[in-house]
């Protein structure tokens, strides 16, 4: 299964009230085009989606906050996960879409292939981390996504995926418009 | 030398609707951080890096809250991308307290000297408005800084020299 297909699957699981932070590059484009709602589509700030999600989860404790990040982005901001583990925000869910590539910049390797994500994330103090290797078992992937979003508590799901073959269009909004659209959800 | 009283300083921030803070410590903020961690009006979250703190503060703002940040000026080097491609781009208002290391009191600490020399040019390059506070004028300066922060919806920086908030 490809990254964009995983993100598409989320559309049948989300209720539209979730607050989503997506990592810059292809992941944000996929979240913009494939999921509903005005979300926080990051354009730059590589490495920061987890920390932005943490701040958002603290400010909005009654809403589910979902961070969707690629592996290169996740690894750049890895230490933010230790802060997340320290805080244990129960409304924060993190999905790592891992294609082992810097796909947006042309498919250069990340170091992701050597990492045991479960051991690493559990070692930080997040017991609920799950990891799943690339597969086409659509029912199992849907169940894992559902559990990650709907089960109470801080949940982290690491998914190995195949490289996407289609690059979606750029997000048409200026970042200030992205921000204004997102914040108008609270008014 | 008379220092700013940490209790007065925190009351000012509380009166201005700040309830949340994050950052990375500097000894110049030792007294303030000790008071902050004990103060029920605030949650202080220690970040592992200064750019992470900018990310947390940005998320907190997007969720409707207000954050002040604390960091050493060495952290200005770590926040370059977070400032330019996140907070300046999306127009995120933040109040950032930065210790002004590398001046005369740090003459025996060469690790701070170059960042001390380039602190103001770096802030200018990031297009961040900044002020240096003293014991005698801090409330007026902060009033002005908060007004600019709101009006421009962008980060502003307060430079804090040795002895102003902690020995």
Average pLDDT for residues B134-151, to the nearest whole number? 97
Strand partners, A108: A102
B164: confidence class by pLDDT, cuts 50, 70, 90:
very high
Segment-wise mean pLDDT, segments of 10 residues, chain A, 187 residues: 94 96 96 97 97 98 98 98 98 97 93 97 96 82 94 96 92 97 95
Share of chain B above pLDDT 70, in %: 99
| Domain architecture of chain A: domains with CATH | 3-186 (3.40.50.970)
Q: Could you report the predicted ipTM of this complex, rounded to two decimals? A: 0.97
Distance from CA of A177 to the nearest CA of B (A): 8
Give the C-alpha separation, A68 to A65, whole Å: 10
Average pLDDT for residues B106-125, to the nearest whole number? 96
A104 versus B91: the higher-pLDDT residue is B91
Smallest Cβ distance to B55: which of A80, A82, A182? A80
- Please write down the HEC assignment for all residues of B85-118: HHHHHHCCCEEEEEECCCCHHHCCCHHHHHHHHH
Q: Do B62 and A179 touch (CB under 8 A)?
A: yes
> Which has the closest alpha carbon to B122: B163, B72, B55, B165?
B72
| Domain architecture of chain B: domains with CATH | 6-160 (3.40.50.970)
Give the per-residue pLDDT at A187: 84
Give the per-residue pLDDT at B68: 98
Q: Where are the alpha helices (DSSP H) in A88-166?
A: 117-124, 138-150
Share of chain B above pLDDT 90, in %: 98
Give the C-alpha separation, A77 to B55, whole Å: 10
Q: How many helices (H) and strands (E) does chain A have?
A: 8, 8
Give the C-alpha separation, A145 to A184, whole Å: 27
Q: Do A55 and B60 touch (CB under 8 A)?
A: yes
Q: Show Cβ contacts of residue A94 under 8 Å, excluding neighbours closer than 6 positions.
A: A50, A53, A66, A67, A69, A84, A155, A156, A157
> Which has the closest alpha carbon to A55: B10, B40, B151, B87?
B87
Mutate to test the interface with B, among A43, A48, A61 (most CBs of B within 10 A): A48
């Amino acid at each position: 299964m490809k990254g964009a297909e995983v993100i598409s699957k989320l559309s049948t699981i989300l209720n539209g009230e979730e607050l989503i932070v997506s990592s810059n590059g292809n992941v944000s484009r996929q979240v913009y085009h494939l999921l509903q709602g005005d979300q926080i589509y990051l354009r730059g700030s590589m490495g920061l989606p987890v920390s932005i999600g943490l701040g958002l989860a603290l400010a909005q404790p009654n809403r589910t906050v979902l961070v969707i990040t690629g592996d290169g982005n996740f690894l750049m901001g890895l230490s933010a996960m230790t802060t997340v583990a320290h805080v244990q925000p129960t409304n924060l869910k993190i999905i790592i879409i891992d294609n082992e590539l810097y796909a947006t910049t042309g498919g250069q390797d990340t170091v992701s292939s050597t990492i045991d994500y479960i051991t690493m994330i559990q070692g930080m103090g997040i017991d609920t981390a799950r990891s799943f290797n690339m597969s086409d078992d659509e029912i199992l992937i849907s169940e894992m996504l559902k559990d990650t979003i709907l089960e109470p508590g801080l949940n982290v799901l690491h998914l190995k995926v195949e490289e996407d073959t289609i690059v979606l269009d750029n997000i048409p909004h200026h970042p200030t418009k992205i921000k204004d659209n997102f914040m108008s959800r609270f008014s | 030398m008379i220092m700013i009283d940490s209790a007065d300083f925190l009351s000012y921030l509380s009166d201005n609707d700040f309830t949340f803070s994050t950052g990375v410590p500097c000894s110049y903020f030792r007294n303030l951080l000790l008071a902050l961690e004990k103060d029920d009006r605030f949650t202080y979250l220690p970040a592992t890096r200064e750019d992470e703190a900018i990310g947390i503060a940005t998320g907190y703002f997007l969720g409707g809250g207000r954050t002040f940040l604390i960091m050493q000026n060495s952290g200005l080097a770590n926040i370059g991308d977070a400032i330019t491609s996140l907070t300046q781009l999306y127009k995120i208002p933040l109040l950032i307290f930065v210790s002004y290391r590398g001046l005369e009191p740090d003459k025996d600490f060469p690790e701070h000297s170059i960042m001390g020399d380039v602190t103001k040019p770096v802030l200018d390059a990031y297009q961040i408005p900044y002020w240096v506070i003293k014991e005698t004028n801090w409330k007026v300066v902060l009033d002005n800084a908060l007004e600019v922060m709101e009006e421009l919806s962008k980060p502003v920086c307060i430079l804090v020299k040795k002895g102003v908030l902690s020995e």
